[in-house]
Structure 1
């Protein structure tokens, strides 16, 4: 059950799958304040599920994610509508979807890391956001009920945060991702190594289930190379499934087609709603 204190949410967007809520979270550990969008599946407010905990998937946006997360906009990515449809067909869990801001500003991409002199985005995204969700919603205690997915720079963050917190997450999806820091924000050589998801996974071998997706168009060949290079580093109990999207490119129109696959993968590797 929620531990509180309860946050104040506004309705950011009304959809055919129910409202997308939004709040501003000041992280207790990071001290940084950013937007978080949340969608609750229809079952969440059904009296029959009043004592049920729901699985959580944290969805990381790509691009300029300072005040926007395109997973929260069904016109861009119909994740909520797809989840309702797939859950009704028994192909996916009804997820609590959490969609946090990605970076402090449009000119400051900290790649979900705690970089000296910058907001502690690694702490905000990896610790404050999950704690906030547990405080406000009925979730599952076990990491088996927690997953994360991201696109592009959000894929970097999804893999990195799960590698840093393997006790909190079970399943991870990367679409068009990269696996080493790609910004020039005061990274030391030591800091760059410490914040490279590929090296983290190689070193710690966490018990994670990964779905790595790359585009199959000639323009996306670098995605395939990065994906294959990561797979070569992985050892049990880390398990990776790869998929090359035929003719896929690095656009949300291509990601849109893969949302059902992503939700089905997360569902196959995470625990579903559980009675308390």
Structure 2
């Protein structure tokens, strides 16, 4: 059974409950001071706790989507399984395509002509995409947190369904949605940094992804028609992509994002002693030291339950024209999908409304 399968989760939970019942039933029979009864009681407790911890761990992983498979959990889902070398002539590859309410979702591999990176993505094409072959569309790059699974953007946040609903209500114009995870070299967390001598993650998203999508789909190439959205690590990446590459993106939404690169055991040495590079990846440093980029951003947080609330307030206070910043602050809410689902009904339409829509072809 797969790591994220309901069957495995239910089976483990049932075994945990059965273990608890068995412990209660057998415990009186193991009364005594000899070594065998003591070992028996210790074995029952250890087995009960192991099953309970396993059930809780599977539940947490199922909800947050930390690991997508057993290979992902064990660190075996790396190398060629995650990264393929793509030459400049290599194009986007479609692995699967299926109809969904309001459009179609295609599973693709996006090559990096300049960075030679490659990553899986899911592309939502609204119904309007298939009605007029001359029409071109704005596009949104949506990023998960780390380690993340791009399928969570569909199963947990229902971004395609939300976008299709907003289009049907005429809240927004039709747009193409590109759903990905922010790390292109799992299990490493690149934090969307162009690592010296390493993966050029920022350039991959800002240049290669946009070029590959625009070459294959009818999306507008100009920065005024491209936005980026993400949660947690993806939120930090969304802000950084818009602020550091305003030539590529004109708007961004950060759901519970942070404002400075996290460096820990999952990232390794991202800057190799280059303080100037570290500073450029610090969004507060950019606001204080560099010219404000001509972009619009929306940041979200919660007064109670989110560790980024005060940093978000400081970020909003530091923004100056021509950059524009808006906020969506909940009274309470944790760092989880439930909170982001409460924010997306406003955040997603806001982002699409910032994007330029090309005039219809005559």
Pick aligned residue for 2:338 from 230, 245, 253: 253
**CA 1:142/1:95 → structure 2, altered by over 3 Å: closer, same or farther?**
same
Kept in 1: contact 2:142–2:178 (CA 8 A): yes
1:274 maps to 359
> Secondary structure, in 3 states, of the residue corresponding to 2:298?
strand
> Secondary structure, in 3 states, of the residue corresponding to 1:127?
helix
Inter-partner Cα distance in structure 2 for 1:192 and 1:6: 33
Matched, 1:108 2:188: yes
1:104-161 superposed Cα distances (whole Å, 9 cap, x missing partner): 3443111111112432211211110011111111122432211111100001101111
2:282 maps to 196
The structure richer in helix per residue is: 2
1:155 maps to 235
Inter-partner Cα distance in structure 2 for 1:201 and 1:162: 13
Deviates more, 1:263-272 or 1:130-139: 263-272
- After TM superposition, give the deviation of residue 31 of structure 1 in Å: 0.9
> Secondary structure, in 3 states, of the residue corresponding to 2:317?
helix
- After TM superposition, give the deviation of residue 248 of structure 1 in Å: 1.8
Q: Which runs of 5+ in 2 are unaligned?
A: 1-88
Inter-partner Cα distance in structure 2 for 1:271 and 1:172: 14
**CA 1:260/1:176 → structure 2, altered by over 3 Å: closer, same or farther?**
same
Inter-partner Cα distance in structure 1 for 2:152 and 2:251: 18
- After TM superposition, give the deviation of residue 176 of structure 1 in Å: 0.4
2:322 maps to 237
Matched, 1:50 2:133: yes
Inter-partner Cα distance in structure 1 for 2:339 and 2:97: 25
Kept in 2: contact 1:143–1:167 (CA 8 A): yes
**CA 1:205/1:106 → structure 2, altered by over 3 Å: closer, same or farther?**
same
1:264 maps to 349
Q: Which runs of 5+ in 1 are unaligned?
A: none
Question: Which structure's relative contact order is higher, taking Cα pairs within 8 Å and 6+ residues apart?
Answer: 1
> Secondary structure, in 3 states, of the residue corresponding to 1:246?
strand
Inter-partner Cα distance in structure 2 for 1:149 and 1:94: 16
Pick aligned residue for 1:76 from 135, 152, 156: 156
Kept in 1: contact 2:111–2:212 (CA 8 A): no
> Secondary structure, in 3 states, of the residue corresponding to 1:155?
helix
Matched, 1:214 2:301: yes
> Secondary structure, in 3 states, of the residue corresponding to 1:9?
strand
1:177 maps to 257
- After TM superposition, give the deviation of residue 45 of structure 1 in Å: 0.6
1:71-115 superposed Cα distances (whole Å, 9 cap, x missing partner): 542x21111111111111111222100112311344311111111
Q: How does 1:32-47 map to 2 (within 5 A)?
A: 32-46=117-131
TM-score by length of 1: 0.89
Please report the RMSD computed on the Cα atoms of aligned residues, expressed in angstroms.
Answer: 2.0
Inter-partner Cα distance in structure 1 for 2:136 and 2:296: 22
TM-score by length of 2: 0.69
1:140 maps to 220
- After TM superposition, give the deviation of residue 5 of structure 1 in Å: 7.3
- After TM superposition, give the deviation of residue 180 of structure 1 in Å: 0.7
Kept in 1: contact 2:167–2:173 (CA 8 A): yes
Larger radius of gyration: 2
- After TM superposition, give the deviation of residue 171 of structure 1 in Å: 1.3
Deviates more, 1:249-258 or 1:154-163: 249-258
2:92 maps to 7
